Structure 1
Amino acid sequence: MSVAIVDGATIINFLEDEEAFNVSVCDRFAYLDTDHDGLLSYAEMLKELQSLRVFETHFGIDVETDPDELASVYESLFVKFDHNLNGTVELEEFKKETKQMMLAMADGMGFLPVQMVLEEDSILKKAVERESNQVATA
């Protein structure tokens, strides 16, 4: 994990760089596709959703969460990615939904800088690294 200062522009600029975004999404998809069948099952996506720990923490502090409620939320999130409702997530579905989530994050942040903890190899970390590399070469 690392800490970085991020704002909405960091994310928007990353999404506008289609090559960088597509490479990052494809890498993440391949990492999640543990059986290498070109599709993400619920079990494969569940690991990723659980790693976010969105519902298990409140302002960084662990909270007790109803397991049934948590399972329902994860199933709903999976369906959000599974646009054609065939029980698996294809690369294009994953790419489209990831982009929508990142746009929502950028919109929520606006252009005020926010200090964030970033997971190694996360798509958001790659956006920050891309921005840092551009500043360093300018």
Structure 2
Amino acid sequence: MSVEVLDSATIFKFIEDEEAFNVSIRDHFALLDTDNDGILSYAEMLKELQSLRVFETHFGVDVKTDPNEVAHVYDSLFGQFDRNSNGTVDLEEFKAETKQMMVAMANGMGFLPVQMVLEEGSFLKRAVDWESSKPYY
């Protein structure tokens, strides 16, 4: 993890750079696709869904949550990715939902830079790294 400064423009520009964004999506998808069959099952996506930390409270303290509620939330999140409801997530579905989530984050963030703790390999960290690699004029 590292503390980074980013704003909505960082995210939007990363998404707009189709080559960089697509490489990032393909790499992350391949990492999740543990059986290398070109699709993600619920089991393969579960770790990724858990990393979203939807049950975390302030300052990193986890709340104790009813296991049925947890299962329902993860099922719903998986359903967001599984756009054709066939029980798996292909690369295009993964890309479309990830892009939609990043756009929502950027829209919610606004134009002022914020400091965030980002996990290595996360899409936001990749966006910051991508922007840092660009020459300034």
| TM-score, structure 2 as length reference | 0.95
Give ranges in structure 1 of 5+ residues lacking alignment: none
Question: Following TM superposition, by how much is the alpha carbon of 1:117 offset from its aligned partner in structure 2, in angstroms?
Answer: 1.1
Corresponding residue for residue 76 of structure 2? 76
Corresponding residue for residue 103 of structure 2? 103
Letter in 1 for 2:2: S
Question: Following TM superposition, by how much is the alpha carbon of 1:35 offset from its aligned partner in structure 2, in angstroms?
Answer: 0.6
Question: Following TM superposition, by how much is the alpha carbon of 1:70 offset from its aligned partner in structure 2, in angstroms?
Answer: 1.1
Deviation per CA, 1:4-23, whole angstroms, max 9, x where unpaired? 01111110000010000000
Percent sequence identity is 73
Task: Give distance in 2, aligned partners of 1:72 and 1:18.
Answer: 33
Counterparts in 2 of 1:106-125, with a 5 A limit? 106-125=106-125
Corresponding residue for residue 52 of structure 1? 52
Corresponding residue for residue 42 of structure 2? 42
Task: Give distance in 1, aligned partners of 2:39 and 2:127.
Answer: 24
Letter in 2 for 1:129: D
Question: Following TM superposition, by how much is the alpha carbon of 1:88 offset from its aligned partner in structure 2, in angstroms?
Answer: 0.2
Corresponding position: 1:130 with 2:121? no
How many residues align? The count is 137
Letter in 2 for 1:77: L
Letter in 2 for 1:125: K
Corresponding residue for residue 32 of structure 1? 32
Corresponding residue for residue 16 of structure 1? 16
Question: Following TM superposition, by how much is the alpha carbon of 1:60 offset from its aligned partner in structure 2, in angstroms?
Answer: 2.5
Deviation per CA, 1:63-122, whole angstroms, max 9, x where unpaired? 212211111000000011001100000000000000000000000001111111111111
Letter in 1 for 2:6: V
Letter in 2 for 1:32: L
The DSSP-based 3-state class of the residue aligned with 2:5 is strand
Task: Give distance in 1, aligned partners of 2:74 and 2:58.
Answer: 17
The runs of 4+ residues in structure 1 deviating greater than 6 Å are none
Task: Give distance in 2, aligned partners of 1:112 and 1:60.
Answer: 24
The answer on whether the counterparts of 1:56 and 1:64 sit within 8 Å (CA) in structure 2 is no
C-alpha RMSD over aligned residues: 1.2
The answer on whether the counterparts of 1:56 and 1:65 sit within 8 Å (CA) in structure 2 is no
